[in-house]
A and B are shown apart, each in its own frame.
Chain A
């Protein structure tokens, strides 16, 4: 029982990342009809927003350490962040410590800008082209973006820790009557799950309860009619692209303490996220979220030693196996609407 609860918890945070990326993918597909293979790259750029901000905050000058030498025998220098000089060591250290959550504020405008530039500069020229062309151009864009990141940040993962208040893990088992250490869960992963829930809720609320969202939903259902009513739906869809980029970017920002980011982290998530979208149902926002969490939890269960012993290799194929079963039994996906991606 404890092992099952543990893997459900594990699946929730994995599913949070899948759901956030798949949500953005579905938003773009549902509004613009574009299959965006560069969406993983947006997640990666978000992660590097956190790296960039933590480097900006940590910008420092060198101070000689008296009586010590470096590996070549020259006087040893240590880096002192300017922020220590400006705000004092205690406040400066706290700001450095909280760089990742602060990066949310930095990432939102950057990601919206990146999304809008991407849509206006490249993707809009491919609206009327076949899906194969869209996939090729966005996949190419993803490769270009990751090479740009590698050029500036190198190929190595960059450790970007969570605030020290969130290090360590929470003993969830003790809370529900199990022995100590049976169900432990890292604090930051709890934060990530809560953060994902807030973002997903905010996106749904925005679409459901604002006039802008209502128009967008109407546009998703019947773009032509909304256009005939004199509404500039293209402009709104561009904004939605920016919002989808921001959602993927924020997922990336908060993910960096879980795994140190590197330039190809977007690709690691991209294929899985597409499977999530297909399983959830192309164009269905609740479907994307549901499938994200479902596949995250299934993936966690498939990684259990007992399951691997029973079916060797299941941990590597579970997601694709589920996708095949869903496509065979429910070709529209779990919550797919009629008419989407169908002739």
Chain B
């Protein structure tokens, strides 16, 4: 009838194929014309801030977001420049990143791995984010880091303390500034020995998930190495709210020290319960009973209130540090928001500057070039003294703070006091340390 090969059925078929092609996730196709995923082509560059905005860590997420907004302001030349003026690298000049104005989008991790991956994916695919950063949990960090590796964007982790983030789950596109469980153990052990002696019987209560395990392992190996005995280690469900039935048997076990490998709400409740049981007023084995919290955060110290008084723990950073970088950041943050920043805010702010600086030094947003610029990079002036981004595992090596709950706080933010700044050499470990074994960085991915 006709020489025309186009039939209705053929048209429908090709239409369906074309439709399917268009419907393919842009993560696989969008930057086919670009050298790498979400290559910024206009006058702006978009960063993705993935923080808990709902759920139990929403307050910590809000503080992270404040820090990110401050970092963007400083990168674009606003405010007083904060730590850009104290940063040892002078590549950043307040004109954005590579002359492009920095813009940002935010996602809500809800402190759930699946929600965090969905929000990161949306920021990469829909908003064109060239870097994802943030988070308040190791589960989320590991999940989002793997996603960023697949998508070909850089991931600058927020608050994540598990060894696994830069251990068995490390990825070439992911970087962690925050310290880890091993470092907490290595920093705490000598202080504990000096204050409580080398003959102690410890009882561990450990949150039954990845971070809890790595923290227990780190604290046990560090304290056992100096002579402490671990009399028991009990896993507690992550959803547990009342820890009385786990705390009551502690005294019966003959232990004279309780280590709470808990974070967030778990730690607030377990510490409150332990103090309620009067453990700290007891004498066991001829010694005063002691409680230890390996990882402190502001959220936890505020939640536990007066119960933290005199209890040792560790942190990544504290606003009372007197180096130029910390003072500049505290002034900048405090002036804008009216209160001092938390360690979560600090690490997020620093990660943003470090990313921007790496891009600036590399001269491109290309992830593999950024990875190269960050690997083995040594810097100073960002609040933790001399710091190295180790090439082998993308973990920052810097001094670690051992802190203690303050006896007489002057405000709701003045809850911890620094007992010791543990030098970096004491918390450094070889890349193949058993606590970090089992993973490989792999190669960086530009996506594209």
Contacts and interface: CB of A to CB of B under 8 A. Distances in A.
Interface of A: 2-3, 6-7, 9-11, 13-14, 65, 68, 70-72, 76, 78, 150, 154-159, 161, 167-169, 181-182, 184-186, 188-189, 257-260, 262, 264-265, 268, 299-300, 303-305, 308, 315-316
Interface string B427-444: 000000000000000000
Given A156-B302, A189-B244, A260-B303, A305 B234 contact: yes
Interface in B382-420: 410-411, 413-414
Interface residues on B, range: 35 or more
A156 B59 contact: yes
Interface in B248-284: 248-249, 251-252, 265, 268-269, 272-273, 276-278, 281-282, 284
B269 A259 contact: yes
By CB atoms of chain A within 10 A, which of B232, B245, B334, B414 has the most? B245
A304 B277 contact: no
A7 B307 CA distance: 24
B331 A169 contact: no
B19 to A, nearest CB: 37
7 contacts: A167-B276, A169-B278, A182-B251, A182-B252, A259-B272, A268-B241, A300-B245
A159 B305 contact: yes
Contacts of B249: 3, 6, 304-305
B317 to A, nearest CB: 14
B411 A70 contact: yes
A70 B57 CA distance: 27
A13 B284 CA distance: 26
Contacts of B251: 181-182, 184
A189 B305 CA distance: 19
Contacts of A14: 242, 244-245
Nearest to A156: B59
Given A72-B331, A159-B303, A264 B56 contact: yes
Given A158-B303, A161-B306, A181-B251, A186 B245 contact: no
Given A6-B249, A155-B56, A303-B245, 8 more contacts: A13-B244, A71-B413, A154-B58, A156-B299, A157-B303, A181-B282, A262-B303, A268-B239
Contacts of A304: 245, 249
A260 B411 contact: no
A258 B242 contact: yes
Contacts of A265: 241
Question: A-B pairs with the 8 shortest C-beta distances?
Answer: A159-B305, A169-B278, A155-B58, A303-B245, A157-B303, A300-B245, A186-B276, A168-B278
Contacts of B410: 65, 68, 70, 76, 78
B244 A10 contact: yes
Given A72-B331, A154-B59, A186-B278, A181 B284 contact: yes
A303 B276 CA distance: 19
B245 to A, nearest CB: 4
Contact of B276 (A11, A154, A158, A258): A258
Interface of B: 54-59, 232, 234-235, 237, 239, 241-242, 244-246, 248-249, 251-252, 265, 268-269, 272-273, 276-278, 281-282, 284, 299, 302-307, 319-320, 330-331, 334-335, 340, 410-411, 413-414
A188 B273 CA distance: 11
A309 to B, nearest CB: 9
A168 B251 CA distance: 14
A184 B248 contact: yes
B57 to A, nearest CB: 7
Contacts of B278: 167-169, 184, 186
Contacts of B281: 168
Nearest to B239: A268
Contacts of A158: 303
A198 B251 CA distance: 31
B304 A71 contact: no
B237 A316 contact: yes
A169 B319 CA distance: 35
A262 B277 CA distance: 21
Contacts of B273: 258-259
A299 B245 contact: yes
Contacts of B242: 14, 258-259
Nearest to A261: B303
A262 B282 contact: no
A181 B303 CA distance: 28
A20 to B, nearest CB: 14
Contacts of B246: 303
B413 to A, nearest CB: 8
Contacts of A150: 58
A300 to B, nearest CB: 4
A3 B269 contact: no
B248 A156 contact: no
A305 B230 CA distance: 14
A181 B57 CA distance: 36
A300 B242 CA distance: 10
